[in-house]
Structures are given as structure tokens and as C-alpha cells.
Structure 1
Amino acid sequence: MEKIFELGEISCPSGTLVVIDGGHLGLWSGERSPSEIDPALLGADTPERAREVTGSVDFAVTGPDASAAARSFDRQPGMMLHDIPASGVADLRRMFENHCQVNALDAHLAAMPSREPHAHRAHRTAAEGGGGFLMFGVPVVAVGGVPRDRRLPVLATRSGDGQGWTEMAVRMSDAPAETSVPLGRIGVDWARVLFGDVDALSAWQHDEPVDGLADVAFWGTAAHAAATAFAAPELDEPGVHGWTDLTVPKAVEKALAVQSWAQEPGRRLMVDFRPHSHHWQIMRRLRASVHESGTLDLGPARVLCAMTACGDGYFPVMADLDARGGVVAVRVSFPGA
């Protein structure tokens, strides 16, 4: 027998909902070009790799057979190919031309004059009926037609004998679902899912503190010894010590000192630097929640982040539609949970 729990509520004043791994929002460009994202966040640790990232190109599939060509080429969802590294452009063009020749398709790749911002990708995808797109290779889903004028419950389902969630759903209506359509899948690397208004996400500060402050936390088998050495109080998490509400320079100083102390053999310790960003705020509420979910208000919108309870993976997203084609619910499934 299934059990249903309410994780919280969201609001979506733009009418476009984004479903994404909340841990990846540091890569979200909002209204900016993706080329403005720090290449180091993508693992570009040399000048050459950084140029590859910032010099990436977006392509549109064009021509009479564009839809069939994009679908059968099957490299990315939809009619766009995003974030193609500069060194891979020639190979991609060659592969696409060969694909079209072999399959007798009249289609071409047209390089876009500029990179498409992530918020624009979401708005366009929603306007085209909803679906998926890539953000630096990470699958994201966007859907339109979401009620703008009220809070929407986010529900999670658990099987009677299971410990994890089998599904999370944003409910837009109590109307019965007549059909269900696949929107795509989301890629999760941080074991969490965030449901958020597309415009609100443009204001998201993933790593920068909104109040100029930061916390330092540490835990592990050497935590008690470290707490004694640094006179660090216990925090409101079991087994976790550290400091809260420090200025960023002071927090960096303490984090580096504890990390240096932990380099000695036998001192097993995890040290976490936690700037008071939007990500920190919502994760703090999530950790304090019995269902590992938390909400955060960003302007007129409210977003919700919840742990998957089954780790990472690629998870399918469906839209339930009523008899008129209106969105009744958007569901993320966790197969095997």
C-alpha cells in the first residue's frame, strides 16, 4: 500500500516550472550567456580547457527535415544542440552531415550567433509544449501551463514496505488525469531535486552569501578531538561541530586551519565551508525536515528542494493532462526505489 506525504508548496508566477538537480544550480546562467559561467565549475582547470568551455557553440537544426533529423540524430533533446566545445564543432558537423546523407534527410546545422541562456532554453522548451534540454550536459526539464496565482503542493509517494520515494509530484489540479506524456529526464548528481519558477532561478545565488556570512562544519571519527583543539561547539546536527554566522574571511581562516589539522595521519575528518547562499539556506531547512525537503522564497516565487532518498541517476519526468490538455501534475519517478 502506498503512502503519500506533502513535502511543501511551491509557487510559479511565470507559469514555467523547471525541474533540476538543485546541487547543479551553480551552473545555471539565468538570463546571462552560459559563457559567463566560471569554467572552473565545470572542471576546466587549465587555460586551454577554459577556452574550450567559454568558446562553446550552440546549433539549431534547420531545413525541411529538421524535426526528423534532430530526432534520429538523437544527441540532445529538441531542435537545438547546446554547449558544443570549440574543438568538437568540426566533428559534430561532419557526423550530422553524414547522418543526413545516409538517411536522405534535408537538414543542416546552423551555428547560433550567441549562446542561449539557460532561462531562455527553459522558456522556449515550455512554449514548445514542455520537455528537456541540456545545461552543460546535465539534463533539465521545463514545462509551461503551470498555475500562476496560487501555491501548489509537492507530494511524495512511498511504497508500503519501502524506505525511499517512488515518486515526487507537483499537483496543479484535482481533475482526473486522462493522459500522461513524457517530458524527458533529469540528471541528478547531488541526490536532490529542485522544483522552481524559471524567472526566480535567475536570482538564485548558489555559492555567494546573501548576508556576507558563512558557517564552518566538520564531522568524522576525529571530530571530538578537533572540537577540543579548536574549541568548536557542537552544531544542531548530530555529531557535527563548527561555527556559525562568521564573516567570510574568518570562516575561510577557520576552515583552512581545521583542514590543515586534519592532514595528520589518522585524523579522519570532513570539513564543510557553508556560505549563507540560497543553496545553504534551503539545504539547512532540508536537513531539519523529517522528510528531507525545504522551501525558499525568491521574490514572489517559492521553490522546493528535496532529497531523492535513492541517490543519483537519471530520473524520468512525466506530465499528467486532463481531458482539455491542461497540466494536472508533473511527476518525477524513481524506478527501483
Structure 2
Amino acid sequence: MSEFFVDLGKVIAPSGVLVLGMAGWIDQWRELGQPLSERARAAAAKGGGHLREWLCEAVAVPAAADRVLMVRASTSPSPFDREPAIATLEFGLGLPWPETEDRVVPVWLGDLPVDRCGMVVGDAVGLDVWRGWDDEPADGLADVFYWGLYADNAHTQFGGERIARHGVDGPRGWLDLPVAEAVARAAELEAWRDRLHGKGLMVSVDEHTDVHRFQRAGWHHPLHAGAIDVGGCQVLGIEWDQGDHSMRHRGERATGQVYPVTLEADEAGEMVLRWAIPPYDFDDEAE
């Protein structure tokens, strides 16, 4: 049975090198010595390859530098809620399949785990300036969220909008506050909780790092995909539902939860990068 694909979004790779990597670790490449773009360029010059150092992992491949590249996905039911979850990601590279290579045989590049923080695909040079969780937000802003047993009481006391997400009501809170104001508001909520209840209210402050920005861009997408600008390039981030991640991908590399990445030829004879995640076997659950 052939797979049915849906469009997730578009990316550009003006450097001619496309990277698929773990969003939670993109910023750590520069802390390990050689920038991601240099490692990726070397791998792409050999036709593509898998990059791994410490907990950082990515795949880098050559891509057309002069056009928009499409990202598509097929789905299978999640074991968490039976909703559609990504089974295969396919990235058009805009380059002809090499005449010296057999179009029928995929080229294996390695394997990748599903990062709990999500995955990102984009230009290798653009991703060199990726802002991770510990980096300062470029715009100086942050979002504040609160939820839990006493969320309604907190809303009566402090206000806050409902921050809707696809398929769920989402937490309450405030978007686009200056960081100092966001931290102060969260402290007010926590002090009120501790004074009256001691527990029953969760509060978070998410600064506008690139990790948070791509997750926010995907809030209303059924597959949690969203595009943002990083280093002057449009990149696409894909966040996994945490319940689905817990049941399918938890443990990641350490427990062998990794999935093959290949280069293949599409029907038009152009190169595509594919990352295939096997569907969950519900029959095993019944045994």
C-alpha cells in the first residue's frame, strides 16, 4: 500500500546544505568546537551523512540553493490517543538523482532518535545561530503559562487568556511580555499558590528562544509543525506530542529508539531525504 503524504511546510537552504537535527541540541554544536555548518558541509560534500557528537545528532545532505524545498509527512495512529502521528518525513532536495547511482536502491545515511523537544530542518549556516533553551531571546520577550487544579481560582485572581492549541483548550497565561515582567508575573502566581494551597498550580516562563518560537508556530497544526526565520532562512520545526513520544520514542538513542534516514529518488528523478518511523504495532499491545 502506498503512503499518503501531506504538506508540512517549506524551507530554504541558500548554503546548499540542508540539516535535519534534534531541536533541543542544535545550539550545542557550537559548544563542541566545530560549527554545525562546517560539519554539515563536509558530510554533504560526500553525498550526505550522519553527524553525532555527545548528545547532538543530525543528518546533513546537499540541496538546491536557489529554490524553496517542500517538507511532507505521512502518518499512522498514535498509541497514546490514536490520533495521526508522523510515520515518515520526506524532504525534497531539488537536485537530480546522480546518474551513477541506482534509483531503485535507497542510500542509507544513518539513523536518528526523535528528540523530546522536537526536530528541526533547515539551512546549515542559518542553524549556526540557533537560540537554544539557555540562550537569550532575540526580542527580549517571553510567554507565561499556568495550569492545574487551581487554575480557575488563579484566573479569577490574576486573569490571563486561554492559550488554545490544536485539539485542546491549552493553558491560561500571557503572551509576548518583556522577560522581566514575565518573571515577575510568574513569581506572583507561585507566591499566591504557595500561600493558599502549596501545590495544585503549575507555572512556566518560556522565553522566545528559537526552540520555543518553533513550538509556538506549530500550536495550531495537527502534526505540531511550524516555520520560523533563523539566520535569515526559513526553517521548519516539528514537535512531537509528549504522550506519543512517551509511548513510542521514550529513551531515544540510549534504548535503541532510532529510525533510518535515507536518500531516495522520487518519481521525477529528484533526490529526497526520508526519515521513516515504523507504525506502532497495536497487536503487540494485545499479547
Structure 1 partner of 2:73: 156
Percent pairwise identity: 31
- How much does 1:187 deviate? 2.9
1:245 has 2:176 as partner: yes
1:166 has 2:87 as partner: yes
- How much does 1:257 deviate? 2.9
Structure 1 residue matching 2:126: 3-state secondary structure: helix
Report matched runs for 1:197-216 at 5 Å. 197-206=123-132, 207-216=135-144
> Contact conserved, 1:138 with 1:186, CA < 8 A, in 2?
no
TM-score computed with the length of structure 2 as normaliser: 0.77
Change (3 A) 1:273 1:143: same
- How much does 1:330 deviate? 0.4
Q: Separation in 1 of the partners of 2:4 and 2:117? A: 21
Amino acid at match of 1:245: D
Structure 1 partner of 2:255: none
Structure 2 residue matching 1:336: 3-state secondary structure: coil
| CA-based RMSD | 2.8
- How much does 1:173 deviate? 4.8
In the TM superposition, what whole-angstrom CA distance separates every residue of 1:210-248 from its partner, at most 9, and x where no partner exists? 211111111222221222232333334424111222211
Q: Separation in 2 of the partners of 1:242 and 1:300? A: 30
1:223 has 2:166 as partner: no
Amino acid at match of 1:318: T
Q: Which structure would you say has the larger Rg?
A: 1
Structure 2 partner of 1:293: 225
Structure 2 residue matching 1:14: 3-state secondary structure: coil
- How much does 1:159 deviate? 4.4
In the TM superposition, what whole-angstrom CA distance separates every residue of 1:176-230 from its partner, at most 9, and x where no partner exists? 8432111112233315221111001012223422211111111222221222232
Gaps of 5+ in 2: 98-102, 253-257, 281-287
> Contact conserved, 1:170 with 1:330, CA < 8 A, in 2?
yes
Structure 2 residue matching 1:201: 3-state secondary structure: helix
- How much does 1:315 deviate? 2.4
- How much does 1:27 deviate? 2.1
Equivalent of residue 211 in structure 2, options 279, 301, 320: 279
Report matched runs for 1:1-337 at 5 Å. 2-29=3-30, 34=31, 115-144=33-62, 146-159=63-76, 163-173=84-94, 177-190=103-116, 192-206=118-132, 207-237=135-165, 238-263=169-194, 267-308=199-240, 310-311=244-245, 312=249, 313=252, 314-321=258-265, 328-337=271-280
Length, aligned pairs only: 251
Structure 2 partner of 1:62: none
Q: Separation in 2 of the partners of 1:174 and 1:198? A: 17
- How much does 1:16 deviate? 0.9
Amino acid at match of 1:276: H
Q: Separation in 1 of the partners of 2:96 and 2:46? A: 23
Amino acid at match of 1:133: L
TM-score computed with the length of structure 1 as normaliser: 0.66
